[in-house]
Amino acid sequence: MKNLYEDFANKAADIIGFNRTELESFKRAKDALFESSLKGGEPLKNYLNYRYFDSVTENFLLTEGAAGFLLEICPLVGVNESVVKNLNQFFAKELPSGGYLQFLLIASSVIEEFLEFWKQGRISKDPILQRITKERAEYFKVRAANFASSGKTLPRMFRMYVSYSCFPSGCNESGLNNLSEFRKKLTAKLASLNLSPEVCGVDSLIRICRDILEFSPGEKADYRSIASSDLINNQCLSGGNYYENRKTGFVNTSTGIVHRAYTGPVLRTRLFGTSGLKFVNTYGIL
């Protein structure tokens, strides 16, 4: 069968004007081109487990039969012991065994959204006040993008996310409904603590991935998905970025920005896990 296939391929090559040597040369050139363009690596999106988002149950479907959800809440500021005790009691009673709950705090240099909200309250038509508002916004944008000269004035847009994932039995309708029920309980608890939880979809996930892995000071962030019907992991990152795993950290070779990850002690309560990550100059996790 192999010989028959090779004979057929050679005859086809002769018909279109290529001989066997030329085809082999083309294959070598093609392999060399791909090896050069990817530098021996593979797409980073292959390491992202997200695949689909079910708009009915508002859950994400991941690889290996896992599923989960994502919430955004107000950053925890001035938390007292009663709040901590309240959450611990809820997790001890309501957190399903075998699931993983994480709190991620992102301090992003992309502050345009906050500045637009701030400027909406400056409605004076006085030209001097309008100029002051504009110049102050520009001042903070420059400070947010420049680590070297910002000093103690380093503006950041803080966002806190709560993610939960598990392995529901068969990832069927019943399993996803159970996952949604726990999300509703968790959302109600966070709302009772005035943390204003909101369910996040694909757009929020894209924002998180690009804020972390495509951080580019001074440039306007782009969170748009270029292929909304594609798998989610293919949407999360934009093209044109190359990374290398060096001793100094995970380096974006296009921008020179280094990401470093630190793992801390894992706390477990009834198989409840939290892990720690910190991205240099940009991100921390609680």
pLDDT in tens, 260-277: 766 554 433 333 333 333
Question: pLDDT at residue 37 above 70?
Answer: no
pLDDT at 137 over 70: yes
Query: So what's the pLDDT on residue 151?
Result: 64
pLDDT band at 184 (very low <50, low <70, confident <90, very high): very high
> Using CA atoms, how far apart are residues 16 and 111, in angstroms rounded to an integer?
57
The tens digit of pLDDT for each residue in 38-53 reads 556 677 788 888 899 9
Residue 28 is predicted with a pLDDT of 63
| Residue 188 pLDDT greater than 70, yes or no | yes
Distance CA 206, CA 48 (A): 11
Residue 286: per-residue pLDDT: 25
Phi, psi of 36 (to 5 degrees): -70, -40
- pLDDT at residue 220 greater than cutoff 80: no
Please state which of the ranges 24-33, 107-116, 173-182, 210-219 shows the lowest mean pLDDT.
Answer: 24-33
Query: Is pLDDT of 34 > 80?
Result: no
- Among 235, 243, 209, 280, which Cα is nearest to 39's? 243
Distance CA(39)–CA(283), nearest Å, equals: 28
* Strand ranges inside 123-242, DSSP E: 157-166, 198-199
Amino acid at the residue 281? N
149 pLDDT more than 70? no
pLDDT digit string (tens) for 14-25? 554 555 555 556
CA–CA separation, 26 vs 30, rounded Å? Answer: 6
pLDDT for residue 147? 66
- Separation between Cα atoms, residue 84 and residue 162, nearest integer Å: 15
pTM of the shown model:
0.70
282 has a pLDDT exceeding 50: no
pLDDT at 273: 31
Q: Given this model, what pLDDT does residue 261 score? A: 62
- Under the banding of pLDDT at 50, 70 and 90, the label for residue 72 is very high
Rg value, the chain, Cα:
25
The pLDDT of residue 5 is 46
Structure tokens at 59: 């859950």
The whole-angstrom separation of Cα 201 and Cα 58 is 7
Q: What single letter denotes the amino acid at residue 106?
A: I
Mean pLDDT of the chain: 74
261 close to 255: Cβ distance less than 8 angstroms: no
The Cα–Cα gap between 20 and 29 comes to 14
Residue bearing the bigger pLDDT, 199 or 6: 199
